[in-house]
Structure 1
C-alpha cells in the first residue's frame, strides 16, 4: 500500500526575536490537494512562519520538509517545490506580463521553449494570455494577482504559499481568486497554505490552522475544529480559540 508523503511538514518549530518568542513548538502538515487556511490575529506568528518556510529566516529549532525534502539539509531541492505569492506585490511594473514570467522561468532553469509553453498554459488558465504583452502597471489589482499566481505556478510546485493574497482586491476579484485556488487543489493535487484574516475565504472542505501567540491552538478539517469548540461558525470557533486567557 502506497503512503502519501505530506507536501509540507512542520515539526516542533520555534523561533524568537531576542527574548520575544514568535513561534513556540509549532507542528502541522499539509497533504497533496489540501487547502490549509492559516488564521491568527495580528502578531500571532503567521509572517514569521512564512519567513521560515521560504527560508528568509533560518529555523534554529524544529524541522520543515517540503515534498519530503528537509529545508535545512536539502534547501535547494525543497525550495524548488515551492511557489509563493506574497502579500506585497513583487512584479516589475515596467516589464510586460510575459517578461515578468520569462524572468521567473529563467531563475528556475526552464528552457525558453518550455518557458513559453508554461507561460501560455498558466496565463490561459488565468484568462490573461491576451494581455501578455501589456506592461504590468496597466493592469488592475485583480489582474496583477492573477499574474503573480501564474508566475508562482510556472515551475509546477507541489506547495503554494499565499500570504494574504486578496488584500486590496474588490469582492468579485476576491471571489474569483478563492474559487480558482480551490479548483487547482481539486484538479492538480496542489497543496496550499493560505494565510488570511477573512473568514469568507474559507471553504467547507478546507483545513484550518489557528495560530495564536506563536502556538497552534487548533489544526484539522474545518468541521472537526468547529466540533471541538462547540461552535456553529468559523468566526465563533476562532474567537474562542484566541480569546485572552486561553492556554
Structure 2
C-alpha cells in the first residue's frame, strides 16, 4: 500500500485556479522532494494534504484512508513539520512533546515510552529538559520532527524545513531524514525550492504554475529533461511551459 495517493486533485481561490488536476503516489519508505519555484502551488498542496483547506475536487489517501471520507484515520497516519515553527519556546523539549502526546490521547506510560524512543532517535535525550528557546535552529527542527513522529505516522510532510538553517545544518537535516526513511520505513514528502536539497536517488515531483510538470526518480527526470537537475528545472519551469 502506498503511503500517499493523490488522485485528480485541483483547487481554486475563487476564479484563480491554484492547482490544476494532478495525480501522484508515494510508496512506503521513500523520500520524495516536491520542488518548485515560489508561487508554484507547493503551499496550497501542503494545505490540502494537512486538511487546512477542504478538498474541492479529487481525493487524497494517506495510508489507504481517504481525507475526504475518513479524515480521522487518514490524519492519524500523518506527521507534519510546517515551515514556521509551532513549538512553545518557553517550555522544555520534553514538555512540548508531552503536550502533543496528550493531544493524541496517549496514557502517561505509553507516552513516556514513545517520548524516550523519539528523543533517542533524534539524539536529544541529554537535552530533554532544555528550553526550546535556548536551542539552535537545527535542534529546534529535530524537536519538531520528534513531535511529528510520536504517534508513529506512515507519512511525514516537511514544508520547506531548512528555511533559516545554515548550510551545515541543512545538510545534516537532509541526511537525517533520509536515514529515517531507510531505517524506519517512513515515507517523506519534503517541499523545497532549492535544487541542492534533491539527491539523484530521491523521488521527485516538480510543480510549476499549479501543474505537476514532471515526476519520477530525480536522476531519470534530470536526464529526460536536460541532463542535469538544474537544466531540467529551468526548462520545466520556463514561462508558459505546459506538460
Question: Which category describes the TM-score, using the shorter chain as reference length?
Answer: over 0.9
Q: How does 1:153-168 map to 2 (within 5 A)?
A: 153-168=149-164
- The yes-or-no answer on 1:112 pairing with 2:108 is yes
Counterpart CA distance in 2 for 1:51 and 1:8 is: 15
Q: Which of residues 196, 211, 235 is equivalent to 1:240?
A: 235
- RMSD over aligned CA atoms reads 0.9
Aligned residues: 242
> Aligned match of 2:69 in 44, 49, 73?
73
Correspondences of 1:1-247 after superposition (within 5 Å): 5-229=1-225, 231-247=226-242
Q: By how many angstroms is 1:188 displaced?
A: 1.1
Alpha-carbon distance in structure 2 between the residues aligned to 1:126 and 1:77? 26
Q: Once superposed, which parts of structure 1, at least 4 consecutive aligned residues long, lie more than 4 Å away?
A: none
- Can you list the C-alpha shifts for 1:19-45, whole angstroms capped at 9, x where unaligned? 110001011111101111001111111
Q: For the residues of structure 1 that align with 2:145 and 2:211, how far apart are their CA atoms?
A: 29
Aligned to 1:88, what secondary structure does the other structure show? coil
- Maintained 8 Å contact 2:222/2:232: yes
How far has the Cα of 1:66 moved from its partner? 0.2
Q: Secondary structure at the match of 1:195?
A: strand
Give SS of 1:27's match. Answer: strand
Aligned residue for 1:192, secondary structure, equals strand
- Gaps spanning 5+ residues in structure 2: where? none
User: How far apart, CA to CA, are the structure 2 residues paired with 1:167 and 1:43?
Assistant: 16
